[in-house]
Homo-oligomer: A and B are copies of this chain.
Amino acid sequence: MVHHAPNPVGAEALASDLAIRVYYEDTDFSGRVYHASYLRFLERGRTEWLRARGFEQRAMARENSFVFVVRRLTVDFIKAASMDDLISVQTRLARLGAASFDFRQTVLCNDACLLGAQVNVVSLKGGRPTRLPAEVRARLLG
């Protein structure tokens, strides 16, 4: 039976890992990764997390059903990555609400934590927040 998740989501909500190589495009003249590049990495992590649960965002947009939009994010920058580093983006669902949910994401390199993020995502339909259908909630809880 599908039901509204307790808040916060328990450990049973699957996490996922995405390996990302740092390229020239991601760095800046400080010699390290540009701070906003991590936002792109985090978004790739969420995209793959969603894809693993059957959400293809291009199809969602085309079908004019609902789309997932970032409403709020907090990022703690702890340590910087550099060109050629192989980093890992870890994504897990931290909270599931009626029309929104939270991701907790971390970026690691060689077991060191580079960055922690909390990302609040809202479900929009026609530009307005919309309740997540039970079937969608079930998939998010994966």
Contacts and interface: CB of A to CB of B under 8 A. Distances in A.
Interface in A78-111: 82-84
A7 B113 CA distance: 31
A30 B73 contact: no
Contact of A74 (B61, B69, B72, B77): B72
A120 B58 CA distance: 29
Contact of A29 (B40, B44, B58, B70): B58
A26 B54 CA distance: 21
A27 interface: yes
A71 B116 CA distance: 11
Interface stretch (A9-17, A31-39, A133-141): A31-39
